[in-house]
């Protein structure tokens, strides 16, 4: 806090308390009445004192002075109520913000879990599909080998058949020419 | 009609004298009325700070006397009207103290009990009213006052300094800006009939 403001705060407290000398009081009041900036600065300090009072941040002496001033002045009491309402609103907002963040945290945790489960399922599906594919490929390969082997056997048997038939024809012709 | 030359006790405020006083404050009637209201408001606050129970009455009495003095010929330049009023206010206050000592009147009845933290709580009704009033502010004003009271991100002092730095203004300028917004909120809330605090029962 700057020295000027600290000094102004002390003078305002003394003014509230009635311990400010008449000369100092007149200087303070003249400055406030003639200069809008000084007046607003004093009112801002007054609100600051009320804020500190509401939050229990004043020492015992200053707390007594401000409490008495609020007791006397309906305007200051209304100002205190506004500050208390702004504080209460902020506390509610903080609490609900925290709850939202917690809820949001819980929500994102659940979403993460579901995501992981989905990924795992997809991975399993993928793995089982790959295994199945491999099994089918292997089976197809075996069947092709069996088919190739069957085709080779059929070819061999056809050749054997053709040779046997040729031999049979030759023997028949020889037999017929022997009888003739 | 000028009332110069009459005794103070005979003098009463009339529209002409009031008009002449406004003309002394400013040539523009609207601006003069604004300056008059401002001066009255400051006098009320001055009497409040002095612990007076009837600040409005004393502020009006002070202004009446200032207008009368000027109407009776006191030479008060425009720029000295405020300073002149302080001197008159001092006499008015001393008279008030003398009168109070003589009469020892009962404390004036208040429409509502003074707010005591810990004893009173902020009701939902008041919070709802505050939200309504916050909605009447411009987006910029609302954002400023909400952030000024937002201490969730750190301590109050640190947060407010950070806010001032972000806005590129001195801490004192920030305080004055917030003070103006708060004054507006308070004015609206009182106009809307600020609901009384509830005792916690503690």
Query: pLDDT of B117-146, one tens digit each?
Result: 666 666 777 788 888 899 999 999 999 998
Instruction: Please indicate if any CB of chain A lies within 8 Å of the CB of B112.
Output: yes
The pTM score is 0.65
- Which residues does chain B have within 8 Å of residue A9's beta carbon, measured at their own beta carbons? none
Q: What is the pLDDT of residue B202?
A: 42
- Which residues does chain B have within 8 Å of residue A74's beta carbon, measured at their own beta carbons? 110-112, 114
Q: Which of B82, B131, B179 minimises the CB distance to A43? A: B179
Burial zone of A107 (CB within 10 Å; 0-12 exposed, 13-18 middle, 19+ buried) = exposed
pLDDT at B84 over 80: yes
State which residue of chain A sits closest to B179, comparing Cα positions. Answer: A44
- Within B72-170, where are the H helices? 81-103, 124-136, 139-148, 156-167
pLDDT at B107 over 60: no
d(CA B151, CA B149): 6
User: How many CA atoms within 13 Å lie on the side-chain side of B134?
Assistant: 19
Q: Inspect the interface and report whether the beta carbons of A86 and B145 lie closer than 8 Å.
A: yes
| Residue B6 DSSP class | S
Q: How far is CA A49 from the centre of its chain?
A: 39
- Contact by Cβ (8 Å): B71, B6: no
- Which residues does chain B have within 8 Å of residue A73's beta carbon, measured at their own beta carbons? 48, 55
Element (H, E) at A30: helix A22-34
Give contacts of B 24-83 with A, CB under 8 A: 38-39, 42-46, 48-51, 53, 55, 82-83
| Residue A19 DSSP class | -
Q: Which of B114, B170, B183 to mutate to test the interface with A (most CBs of A within 10 A)?
A: B114
Q: Which of A39, A72, A90 minimises the CB distance to B53? A: A72
Residues in a beta bridge with A124: none
By DSSP bridging, strand B120-121 and strand B198-199 are: antiparallel
Q: Which of A14, A44, A50, A65 to mutate to test the interface with B (most CBs of B within 10 A)?
A: A44
pLDDT digit string, tens, across residues B47-57: 988 888 888 89
Q: What is the pLDDT of residue B112?
A: 58
**Residue B28, SS3?**
coil
Binned at pLDDT 50, 70 and 90, residue B66 comes out as: very high
Binned at pLDDT 50, 70 and 90, residue B63 comes out as: very high
CA distance B66 to chain A (A): 14
State which residue of chain B sits closest to A20, comparing Cα positions. Answer: B50
Q: Which residues of chain A have pLDDT under 50?
A: none
User: Residue B190: phi, psi to the nearest 5?
Assistant: -70, -40
CA distance A50 to chain B (A): 10
**Comparing A48-57, B30-39, B151-160, which segment has the lowest mean pLDDT?**
B151-160
Q: Inspect the interface and report whether the beta carbons of B51 and A74 lie closer than 8 Å.
A: no
pLDDT at B89 over 90: yes
d(CA A172, CA A168): 6
Contacts (Cβ under 8 Å, ≥6 apart) of A24 = A11, A14
d(CA A12, CA A6): 10
- What is chain B's Cα-based Rg? 22
Q: Inspect the interface and report whether the beta carbons of B42 and A40 lie closer than 8 Å.
A: no
pLDDT at B65 over 90: yes
State which residue of chain B sits closest to A90, comparing Cα positions. Answer: B150
Which residue's entry shows tokens 């001055």? Answer: B46
d(CA B114, CA B53): 13
């Amino acid at each position: 806090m700057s020295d000027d403001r600290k000094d102004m705060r002390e003078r305002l407290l003394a003014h509230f308390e009635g311990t400010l000398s008449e000369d100092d009081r007149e200087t303070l009041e003249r400055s406030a009445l003639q200069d809008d900036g000084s007046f607003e600065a004093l009112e801002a300090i007054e609100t600051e004192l009320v804020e500190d009072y509401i939050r229990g941040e004043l020492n015992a002496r200053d707390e007594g002075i401000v409490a008495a001033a609020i007791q006397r002045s309906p305007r200051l009491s209304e100002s205190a109520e506004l500050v208390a309402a702004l504080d209460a609103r902020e506390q509610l907002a903080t609490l609900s913000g925290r709850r939202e963040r917690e809820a949001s945290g819980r929500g994102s945790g659940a979403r993460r879990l579901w995501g992981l489960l989905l990924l795992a399922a997809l991975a399993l599906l993928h793995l089982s599909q790959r295994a199945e594919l491999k099994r089918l490929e292997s089976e197809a390969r075996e069947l092709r080998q069996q088919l190739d082997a069957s085709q080779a056997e059929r070819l061999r048997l056809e050749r054997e058949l053709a040779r046997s038939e040729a031999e049979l024809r030759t023997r028949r012709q020889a037999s017929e020419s022997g009888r003739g | 009609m000028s009332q110069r030359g009459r005794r103070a006790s005979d003098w009463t405020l009339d529209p002409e004298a009031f008009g002449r006083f406004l003309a002394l404050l400013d040539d523009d009637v609207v601006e003069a009325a604004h300056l008059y209201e401002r001066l009255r408001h400051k006098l009320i606050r001055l009497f409040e700070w002095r612990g007076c129970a009837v600040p409005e009455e004393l502020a009006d009495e002070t202004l009446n006397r200032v207008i009368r003095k000027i109407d009776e010929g006191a030479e008060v330049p425009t720029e000295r009207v405020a300073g002149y009023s302080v001197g008159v206010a001092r006499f008015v206050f001393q008279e008030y103290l003398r009168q109070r000592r003589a009469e020892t009147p009962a404390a004036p009845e208040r429409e509502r009990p003074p707010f005591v933290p810990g004893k009173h709580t902020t009701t939902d009704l008041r919070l709802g009213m505050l939200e309504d009033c916050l909605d009447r502010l411009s987006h910029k004003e609302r954002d400023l006052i909400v952030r000024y009271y937002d201490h969730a991100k750190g301590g109050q002092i640190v947060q407010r300094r950070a806010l001032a730095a972000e806005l590129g203004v001195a801490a004192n300028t920030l305080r004055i800006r917030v003070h103006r917004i708060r004054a507006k909120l308070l004015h609206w809330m009182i106009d809307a009939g600020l609901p009384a605090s509830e005792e916690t029962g503690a």
